[in-house]
Structure 1
Amino acid sequence: MENLHILFWLLKDIGWCMLWKPLGISMIFPTLAIALIITWRTRHIAAELAHNLAIVFWISANSYWMISEFLEFDTARIWGNVTGKHLALLPFLTGLLILLYYYLVQRPRESQAEQIPA
């Protein structure tokens, strides 16, 4: 499933790069769906959950950015100097915050728990 996920992701980004809107947009759903399935399947492992959630948010941000360019609202001002494309920062930053929480809070707790003798 992970290999199929990579195939869909590459097709989505090729569609974006080549401005093939139907290909790029049609690959959002399978790419995101498989990322969500992988995340659900690995939810019991904290490291995998954190990284796979970050990937889900990365794909979401990347897909939004692609759509903003395809539909030409990427340069439209939303608020001040913030454009349509800049809104992709919200899911990008959400993924980053998940990873920061994992590495700064969760992982140290796991390491500490492993060092405590049973």
Structure 2
Amino acid sequence: MLKSIRKFENLHITCWLLKDTCWVMDLKTLGLIMIVPTLCLALYITYRFRAVPAEFYHNIAVCSWIMANTIWMIGEFFYDDSFRPYAIVFFLLGLLVLAIYYLFVRNRVKESELTDLI
């Protein structure tokens, strides 16, 4: 399963870097367009890893991070950076998901179950 997802992960990283580069360069239209493939690929990767708890929880955190970056970017582009408090919610959500994984889920999953799934 891991090999079949790797190409999507690499494409996802490329889209994410393009989105953030557009943000830094103030390329509003292209930055907005890049939200769609970046977020869709992140959600697809998360869905594909739904059976592997470590990957699933970390990818949910990545989706939250992308949402936070997206909200922050849109706020900077169009709303005088007033959306930052909304972005913080998604950053905190990502941290909460990881805290839940490390505090409650990780110890319940046996390593042998993880390697069988990958």
TM-score, normalised with respect to structure 1: 0.84
State the Cα deviation string for residues 11-61 of structure 1 (Å, max 9, x = none). Answer: 100000000101111100000000000000000000010000000010000
Between Structure 1 and Structure 2, the one with more helix by share is 2
SS, match of residue 44 in structure 1:
coil
TM-score, normalised with respect to structure 2: 0.84
Instruction: Name the aligned partner's letter for residue 41 of structure 1.
Output: R
**1:11-26 equivalence runs, <5 A:** 11-26=18-33
Corresponding position: 1:2 with 2:9 = yes
User: Alignment identity in percent?
Assistant: 52
State the Cα deviation string for residues 50-96 of structure 1 (Å, max 9, x = none). Answer: 00000001000000000000002423xxxxxxxx2111011111111
| Paired position in structure 1 for 2:51 | 44
RMSD of aligned alpha carbons: 1.8
* Structure 2 CA distance for aligned equivalents of residues 89 and 62 of structure 1: 9
Query: How many corresponding residue pairs?
Result: 106
Higher relative contact order (CA 8 A, sep 6+): 2
Structure 1 consecutive aligned stretches of length 4 or more whose deviation exceeds 3 Å: none
